[in-house]
Amino acid sequence: MQACLIRGAEVLTLEGPQGLQPQRLDILLREGRIAELARDLPPPPDAMVHEARGKLVIPGLVNAHLHSSEMFFRGRYERMALETWLSYAYPFFAAEPVGLRLLYLRSMLVAIESLRGGVTMISDDFFDPPKHDLERLATVFRAYGDIGIRANVSSGLMNLPYLDTLAFGREVVPPDIQAALEFPLPTARDYTAYCEDVFRHLHGDYDGRLRFMLAPSGPQRCTPDLMLACMDLARQHAVPYHTHVLETRVQAVTGAKVFGGSLVRYMDDLGLLHPGVLMAHAVWISDDDIARMGAAGVSVSYNAIANLKLGSGLCPVRKLLDGGVNIGLGTDGASSNDTMRIFDVMRVAALVQTLQDTAPERWLAAQDVLHAATLGGAKAALLDHETGSIRPGKKADLAFLDLASGTAFTPNSDAVRQLVYCENGSSVTDVMVDGVFVLQAGRLTRIDEAAILEEIRDVMGEFLARHREVEAANAGLVPLFEEIRRRCAQEPLPG
């Protein structure tokens, strides 16, 4: 691989005392890594020179939590809470898995939008019921491998009967529908055997850029033996244990009524709090939960837009930071967000925290949010030794923003604040992953983007017509889940 000298850029390293100040630096890359970072580096004879004057170079952004499975449902739902929305986005009845080609295109669409928005690393909690299939997971890996993004990908699952994972589930849902909602569920042994296969055949593909992670859907949705087996595998392979924790009030009440208290405490009692744990959401958490999370060193993916879209609430980010919890930013899936743009999330993530506290000094600063979108997400992915900041030794995962082509940096007053409050991704011209330009001068270099987008548009009419039938088959569940929500709203929360 040819060495490359990036010359003359304004570089925001996010490392050291100067890390939040753009500095005029040259970056020498060798074998996909940052070899040297200094002013006016002489170009080595073997190096290609990339002129980057007028560009702001930042660490590639990290999306700490998404579900590629929702990508074709963007813009489809609104004014629905999580429990009812799930009936459509993750339907119980009449749904069929998408074919392999659509699966490839769907994953590609996630990666296209991510890279175009300066995101170089995604954590995709791939949810693909009813089965776990190596060929299907390999198809997702192949899309990410082809386009050149870095990713942790799961094969997410739940293995408790759904109605047992919701307070009042058995009381509200009539027996005939309860019977129809009984599906075969994987055992811990089946699932770990599958995971071992994935570790053997897919994990570490594409020069280590693509990794597998364990993702039991939530503590209330899985058996303890499954979660403990997943934790063992996660620790053995040094990959995240990625899970959803206390996203909604219904889940908090479910913890109290079904699991004897907070679901965080339930995880702690099972021995499931470790530094490799990434909790998506963490909205309905108590001070005691935060103390346990901080002591264990877990990470949280703060998904500000998805939580607003589904009316879930507000993650207490300042308290989590004070408690020593690492924070990343996630979009969540495209049916609850509805984009893969971390720039959008950054802006909302900062602003919406003003509703949490009346004291302005407790609000998030732009630098807190930018840290979460880079190093915080990288740490949550257990990859902060490789990505998330610009320093010698790390992988060259970089986003280049043109300071002059748009209006976001005109005038250029404070780069960090303008990244968070002004930029929306449209200034991103080039993106590098592992030292390779995967987006260059606005063009994705490794795929035929126009052909892929056209192919998706061509087949979506038929796909969405079929999905309308699936929605109709599941619409009868909506009033039942609304009733569960209504009952939960009247219940006290665990302390």
Could you list the residues that contact Zn ion (CB under 5 A)?
280, 332
Interatomic CA distance for residues 58 and 62, integer angstroms: 12
Q: Which helix (H) or strand (E) holds 282?
A: none
Interatomic CA distance for residues 257 and 479, integer angstroms: 21
Q: Which is nearer to Zn ion, 47 or 66 (CB)?
A: 66
Q: Which residues contact 321 (CB under 8 A, 6 or more apart)?
A: 327, 368
Q: Which is nearer to Zn ion, 128 or 332 (CB)?
A: 332
User: Terminal CA-to-CA distance of the chain, rounded, Å?
Assistant: 56
Interatomic CA distance for residues 197 and 134, integer angstroms: 8
Closest distance of CB 243 from Zn ion, Å = 10
Closest distance of CB 312 from Zn ion, Å = 11
Which one, of 10, 11, 53, lies nearest residue 391 by Cα?
A: 11
Closest distance of CB 100 from Zn ion, Å = 24
Q: Which is nearer to Zn ion, 62 or 396 (CB)?
A: 62
Q: Which is nearer to Zn ion, 98 or 245 (CB)?
A: 245
Closest distance of CB 140 from Zn ion, Å = 16
Q: Which is nearer to Zn ion, 88 or 363 (CB)?
A: 88
Interatomic CA distance for residues 161 and 86, integer angstroms: 15
Q: For the chain, how big is the Rg over CA atoms in Å?
A: 22
Interatomic CA distance for residues 487 and 70, integer angstroms: 28
Q: Burial code of 315-345, b = ≥16 C-beta within 10 A, e = fewer?
A: bbbbbbbebebbbbbbbbbbbbbbbbbbbbb
Q: Which is nearer to Zn ion, 222 or 280 (CB)?
A: 280
Closest distance of CB 116 from Zn ion, Å = 22
Q: Which is nearer to Zn ion, 80 or 452 (CB)?
A: 80
Give the residue closest to Zn ion by C-beta.
332
DSSP 373: I
Residue 140 contacts residue 124 (beta carbons within 8 Å): yes
From its phi and psi, is residue 441 left (phi > 0), alpha (psi between -120 and 50) or beta? left
Closest distance of CB 220 from Zn ion, Å = 14
Chain-centroid distance of CA 32 in Å reads 24
Interatomic CA distance for residues 173 and 170, integer angstroms: 6
Q: Which is nearer to Zn ion, 22 or 377 (CB)?
A: 377
Closest distance of CB 36 from Zn ion, Å = 39
Q: Which is nearer to Zn ion, 10 or 332 (CB)?
A: 332
Q: Which is nearer to Zn ion, 139 or 335 (CB)?
A: 335
Closest distance of CB 417 from Zn ion, Å = 29
Phi, psi of 160 (to 5 degrees): -115, 150
Closest distance of CB 156 from Zn ion, Å = 9
Q: Which residues contact 193 (CB under 8 A, 6 or more apart)?
A: none
Q: Burial code of 190-212, b = ≥16 C-beta within 10 A, e = fewer?
A: ebbebbeebbeebbebbeebbbb
Closest distance of CB 69 from Zn ion, Å = 10
Which one, of 23, 2, 8, lies nearest residue 390 by Cα?
A: 23
Closest distance of CB 231 from Zn ion, Å = 19
Q: Which is nearer to Zn ion, 273 or 280 (CB)?
A: 280
Helix (H/G/I), strand (E/B), else coil: 29: strand
